[in-house]
Chains A and B, each alone.
Chain A
Amino acid sequence: MDSKRLSRRQFLTGAAVVAGAAALPGITNIASAVATPATGFPGVLTPWVPLNVTAAARQGYEIYRGKHAPFQSG
């Protein structure tokens, strides 16, 4: 365990790197942290591939029927 502990020199070196990085404008800019969260999934789905209406409806039925119907008596 002792071999994994940081020496004083190692600790100070690491702290200096962090402090130096923090001084960089690009890193200290917190705009991204407070930006308005994205409301949709990223990526543009183009060209659009039409959804198969019937296949989706069938699977919706199957998912609900298989997953929940046994627990619902009305």
Chain B
Amino acid sequence: MIGQLAANFPGSTWDSVPKGSFNYGAGGVNSWRSICGGPNGGSALLAQLGAPTAVKDEFNAWYERNLFPSNGAYDDFAGGTWTPGGSATGGWGTASNMLVPPRTGAPQAKPNSLLCHASHARWEEAAGGYYGNWFQTAPAANGGIAGAGGDRCSKLVYDCVKKLCELINDWKAGTLPTGALDPSATAAGCMNSSCHNGATPATAARPVNGKMKCTDSCHQ
């Protein structure tokens, strides 16, 4: 996206932004499994573009509730007009790594969280675990067992970039999303519950702030 912004607006600041600026986000920031690189890099881009809060919230809330990965990357590949690792990739990666195609029919899971750890673990659970069928039968052409997780996250990036572009194009065309948060993160949910805004301060937990989904993530 940085490359496109640079190409679309020559001479702008985007022209001088290193295209790998957000690569650190992979694996939840240098493999720390904190915030997923999708919402991380996407939020940074939206901030630099000056996007309204509704757009930013929509992107993150969509990530929480969306089933990842979609089969979009595979469908695109199967359409025959895209060979991953083709000339469009420029200097990214190496040829041998770039030619791994998307695998079709991957198990899907809702992250219910922005955290890489939760997002990936939920997907891995849906996939039957590391010793489950999806991992163990991963074709060599898709990177084998070691490539199963990478296949999922590559396709998740495809999905996130697609959504992000759509949101930005819509916003620039004058259409704003609702930016609705997960119900649990609203004043009608946990924020104003007896737990966090109780009438008896001595027994209620302290008020909290945040926009993340509360239930089915950290709180069960």
Show the binding face of A for B, using Cβ within 8 Å.
39-43, 45, 48-74
With the chains together, A48 CA to B157 CA distance in Å? 24
Instruction: Judge whether B137 is part of the interface by a CB distance below 8 angstroms.
Output: no
> Chain B, 41-55, contact with A by CB distance < 8 Å: what is the 0/1 string?
000000111100000
The secondary-structure label for the interface of chain B is: helix
Contact B84 A70 (CB under 8 A): no
With the chains together, A43 CA to B143 CA distance in Å? 43
Instruction: Judge whether B150 is part of the interface by a CB distance below 8 angstroms.
Output: yes
With the chains together, A62 CA to B83 CA distance in Å? 10
**A57 touches which of B50, B135, B158 (Cβ 8 Å):** B158
Contact B89 A66 (CB under 8 A): yes
Contact B168 A51 (CB under 8 A): yes
In the complex, the number of residue pairs spanning A and B with C-beta atoms less than 8 Å apart equals: 162
The smallest beta-carbon distance between A60 and chain B, in angstroms, is: 4
With the chains together, A58 CA to B74 CA distance in Å? 10
Which B residues are CB-close (under 8 A) to A56? 1, 4, 161-162, 164-165
The smallest beta-carbon distance between A11 and chain B, in angstroms, is: 38
Are A62 and B162 also in contact (CB < 8 A) when A49-B9, A70-B150 are? no
Q: Which residues of B106-128 have CB atoms within 8 Å of chain A's CB atoms?
A: 120, 124
Which A residues are CB-close (under 8 A) to B85? 62, 65-66
Which A residues are CB-close (under 8 A) to B14? 41
Contact A53 B165 (CB under 8 A): yes
**A42 touches which of B13, B17, B120, B154 (Cβ 8 Å):** B13
Q: Which residues of B94-147 have CB atoms within 8 Å of chain A's CB atoms?
A: 94, 97-98, 100, 102, 120, 124, 130, 135, 143, 145-147
Which of B100, B135, B145, B165 neighbours the largest number of chain A CB atoms within 10 Å of its CB?
B165
**A50 touches which of B94, B161, B169 (Cβ 8 Å):** B169
Which A residues are CB-close (under 8 A) to B173? 48, 50
**A59 touches which of B12, B88, B148, B152 (Cβ 8 Å):** B88
With the chains together, A58 CA to B85 CA distance in Å? 9
The smallest beta-carbon distance between A56 and chain B, in angstroms, is: 5
Residue of A nearest to B150 (CB): A69
Instruction: Judge whether B183 is part of the interface by a CB distance below 8 angstroms.
Output: no
Contact A69 B158 (CB under 8 A): no
Residue of B nearest to A40 (CB): B50
The smallest beta-carbon distance between A48 and chain B, in angstroms, is: 4
Contact B23 A60 (CB under 8 A): no
Which B residues are CB-close (under 8 A) to A49? 8-9
